[in-house]
Each structure stands twice: as C-alpha cells, then as structure tokens.
Structure 1
Amino acid sequence: MDSTQAVLDFVNHGHERYLPHLSIDCVIFSYHEQQLKILLIRYYNQSKWSLPGGFIAKDETLTQAANRILAEKTQINNLFLRQFQVFGDSPARLNELGAREVHNATYAKVNVALDENSWLAKRTLSIGYYALVGYLDVVVTPEYLVDEYCWREVTNIPPLLFDHQEIIESALLTLRSQIYQQPIGYNLLLEKFTLPEIHALYETILGKQFDRRNFRKKLLALGLVRQLDERRNIGPHRSPFLYEFDTENYRRALEEGAVLGF
C-alpha cells in the first residue's frame, strides 16, 4: 500500500482499528549542548508546529500505544516514558469546526475533506506522555503528511497548533517535579560524563543555579554516581574524571526515598 492509499485507509477505516475521540501526544525531551530540547513536527500545509502523537489501537493498552508511537517517531524502543495529564478543556479541543479546518488543510495533500461525521472531525481528548531520549540516539522517520521535524529549546518554542503549548508547559512542570524522584539524568546524559556536565543538566532543567561543591557532595554521598579511572581531555591542564551512574544504588535510593535535594 503506497503512502496515499495508507492515508486514505486511515481516514476512512481508522475508526475500526483505533479508539475514536482519544489520542496520545508525546513531549519528547532531549539534552544537547546544555539545552533542554523538545522534538516538534510540522504537518503538510500548516504554519504552526505540533507534538508527535497518534491514536490508540483497540487492542492496545495506553502504555503500549505510547511506546509504539514513540518507536515509530524516534526508532527507539523501551524509552523512559511517563504519563502526566489528560487534556480536553482547551477551547481549541471544543471547537470541532476549527479542528476540522486544520485537519482538512493537511489532508488536502490526498484530496480529502473531512465532513462533520468523520471520526477524525469529532472532539478528541489527549493523554499526555513525556519521554526522555538521548539526542544522538534519535532517528526521525519521515512521514508522508509531515513536512518538517526540528528540535527546539524549551524557552524558544514556535507557535503550536491546538493546546500543544499547554501540554509542553505541563510536561516541563512534571519533569521538574520528578527530577528528584526519577532517574532523569541517567536518560539524558551520555553513559560517561563529567561532574560539571551533570551539574549543568540539573541547572538547565530546573532553571536555577546550584552551588557546585554542595551538588558534588550530595551526589557522591548518595552513591548515585561512581568515578571511573578515565578522564576527558578538554584542554590544556583540563582533564576531569569521568563518572557513570550506579544504576543499582540509584534504584535503591529512589525506592528508599533518598531523593536529590540540593
């Protein structure tokens, strides 16, 4: 089945395979060059951007659907994934006519116009998930109805469709609230890192500064990272030790409530 036929089949028969009125939107976080970034897409014939997302198959759990959607977008399986909120109060979601006009602009690529009875034209609630991925691990797969992908820094998000700005803001608040109880750094840093690198990561996510010495003492006292017999040569007389996460200690600390409070 070619791309056009696949889209037409989705429009005409998708309600037989997927749950109508319920979708998943994914806020995919990554960390690169000391910036927290989000993966965005721009659909055909749209000036505004969107979060990656999709519908839930009738034989899938929510988590299975979220993992499938993310694997399709990033080519990564078994991501760090958390559900954080359901969205349905936005005027953009209540305005079925406006939503249908947005969809029709994109589906014009296959010469389709949704009428008011289309399953895609009805009010849809969205379940928000956030994921943490390694920036260099992501391989974005081109999609027929998507014109462009980009990584954007969280403080420089372009205009978005529907309530996707609200979804991003909620995901960021959740990420910040969970950074002390979840292995956030483990999923965003390289396998081996320097202490200044993990220090910069936490400052970037939380948007505030920490005393470098206290941060190092707390991190080492909890046994969450261990020093390696390797150094990174970053310049003359600058070869800091490399560290890695002690995953067993990290898991135990989280279970026992030994959270990272700086």
Structure 2
Amino acid sequence: MTKRYPTAEVLAQANDTFLDSVSVDCVILAFHQGSLKVLLNKFKISDKWMLPGGFVHIDENVDDAANRILKFRVGIADLYLKQFHLFGNCDRTRKEESLKMLDSWGITPENGHWFLKRFVSMGYYALVEYSKASISIDESVEEVGWYDLDKLPELYADHGAIVEKAINTIRIQIGIVPIGYELLPEKFTMPELRLIYEAILGYELDRRNFQRKMLSVGLINRLDEKRKNGAHKAPYLYSFNREKYEEASLGGVHLMPWTH
C-alpha cells in the first residue's frame, strides 16, 4: 500500500521529491445518521485533528495529488472533487508544531529545513457516499474518524478556516453543486435530502416547500416503496434520475431552483 505520510528517509530527501512550500488539504464530506460529516485524522504526537492532506510531488499535477490523497484515505477513485481556495496567510502554521513532528520522525532539522518553511495550501472539497468509503490508516496516524460538521474538535493550524471556507463555497453554489446526488445512496427519503441542504445553509427549511421545489426540477423520482420506521409513519423512498442528472450537470443547468 502506498504511504500517504512521508517516512524519515523521504523527508530528509524531500527537496528532490516534493514541490517546495506547496501542500494540499481536503475537506471530505459525507452524510450519515442524519448529519453531515467531515473526515479528520490525528498524528500520534499531536492533540489536534487535521484535514486529510499531503505534499505535491515535483512531477505531479496538483489535482492528481488531491486525488491520490483521497484514494488513499477513503479507497475511492474519481470522487466529486473541487478546488476551491488557496490558503496562503503567512502565519497559518506554527514552527513549534512542525519541529515536534520532525522530532517524532527522528529528524534533527538543520536551519532552513524545507518542512519548516512557509507553506501555501490548495484547498479541495470532496463529496462521498458514506457507505462506500473504506477508511485507511497510516501507522503515523493515531486515529481517523468522521465528525459532525457542527461538532468539530480543535483543529490544527488554519484547518477550521479551511472547513468554513469549503462550506461557504458550497453554500454560494448550492444550486449547481450535486450534494444530494453525491452524498446519498441509490434510495433515500426526502427528509434525508432536506437535512443535507439544511446543514449547508445553516437553517431549517420548510418541508413542503422544499419537496415541491426538488420535484419540480424533474431529476428526482418517487418510488413505490416506503422506508420502514417502526411506529412512525413510513416515508416514501426516492431516487435520482441519474441519466438526466448527469446531462443537467454537464449542461450547466441548475440542479435546484434555490430561493429562500
């Protein structure tokens, strides 16, 4: 299995391996048990959680680096992936945290070590169906897990700002980003779809108005099946008309006629 995190040997020779001062950070979103989730990982030597990310090889396209990182982390190639912002504040990382990481890898850095230099990071967001993700754990990582978007732990460096920027970007483009199409399984309920939009928008939506708007686009079909919910009234199941959905997406058609 290809390692996502560099070994001490690779770090020592990184000037010939990685693009100088450039990294990639990925906001990986999934929907599970009624909540929008963000995938995080944490080094053994750190008490702060991080977004999945990594460095860019000298002979590698930046988009290819993001896809490589995602494939390693969730086990899926060709996810819905969008580059959304370049994070370049001069104080976005702390030298003492980088020194601690190098020490844990058995490296005594000389002055000007490439790992201690200022990095700019290209931010990507990815949408993945939760049940299809197969999480991989590198031996350098203590833990990897999904966290509710509204209950994230303390994050490393500016990763909290990266998550916030990703959500704001999707919110602005909510009419054309296929969030339900990418996050939900083949069969889903209308409340599940509504919860995804509410998580992105940050407020509750009128149930009937939401359903009317979603069905008016003509990309969702109601099935002759219901979800069994015990004592509660069973809601109908729906599915996306995938052929029409992909045609609409390629043609730049609004996937949802969104208004308040």
Is TM (by shorter chain) over 0.5?
yes
Q: In structure 1, what is the Cα distance between the partners aligned to 2:232 and 2:113? A: 66
| Deviations, residues 112-157 of structure 1 (Å, cap 9, x unaligned) | 1222222211111100001111222222212122111122112222
Once the two structures are TM-superposed, the CA of residue 108 in structure 1 deviates from its matched residue by: 2.7
Query: What is the RMSD of the two structures over their aligned residues, measured on CA atoms?
Result: 2.2
5+ residue gaps, structure 1: none
Distance 1:33 1:124 in 2: 36
1:181 aligns with 2:195: no
Instruction: State the match for 1:256 in structure 2.
Output: 253
* Residue in 2 that maps onto 1:231: 226
Q: Which amino acid is 1:106 matched to?
A: M
Q: Match for 1:190 among 185, 193, 207?
A: 185
**How far apart are 1:15 and its partner, in Å?**
2.3
> TM-score, normalised on structure 2?
0.90
The answer as to whether partners of 2:213 and 2:256 remain within 8 angstroms in 1 is: no
The C-alpha deviation readout for 1:193-236, integer Å capped at 9, x for no partner, is 11122122212221212221121111111112012232222124
Instruction: Give the conservation status (yes or no) of the 8 Å contact 1:27–1:131.
Output: yes
Instruction: Judge conservation of contact 1:21–1:125 (CA < 8 Å) in 2.
Output: yes
Asked whether the 8 Å contact 1:106–1:145 carries over to 2, the reply is no
CA change 1:10–1:245 in 2 (3 A) is same
The corresponding residue for 2:74 is 74
Give the 3-state SS of the residue equivalent to 2:223 in structure 1: strand
Q: TM-score, normalised by structure 1?
A: 0.89
Residues 121 and 90 of structure 1, relative CA distance in 2, 3 Å threshold: closer
Tell me which residue corresponds to 1:244.
Answer: 239
Q: Provide structure 2 residue ranges, at least 5 long, that are not aligned to the other structure.
A: none
Conserved? CA contact 1:42–1:50, under 8 Å: yes
State the partner residue of 1:207.
202
Give 1:64's aligned residue.
Answer: 64
**3-state SS in 2 of match to 1:256:** coil
Give the AA of the match of 2:119.
Answer: T
1:232 and 1:17, CA in 2 relative to 1: closer, same or farther beyond 3 A? same
Q: 1: CA distance between counterparts of 2:92 and 2:212?
A: 48
2:138 to 143, 149, 162: 143
Is the contact made by 1:27 and 1:129 (CA closer than 8 Å) also made in structure 2? yes
Say if 1:84 and 1:130, in contact at 8 Å, map to a contact too. yes
Match of 1:54 in 2: 54
1:16 aligned partner: 16
- Structure 1 residues 38-117: aligned runs within 5 Å: 38-93=38-93, 98-99=94-95, 101-117=96-112
In the alignment of these two chains, the number of paired residues is: 255
Is contact 2:214-2:256 (8 Å) kept?
no
Cα shift readout 1:229-249 (whole Å, capped 9, x = no counterpart): 322221247333211111232
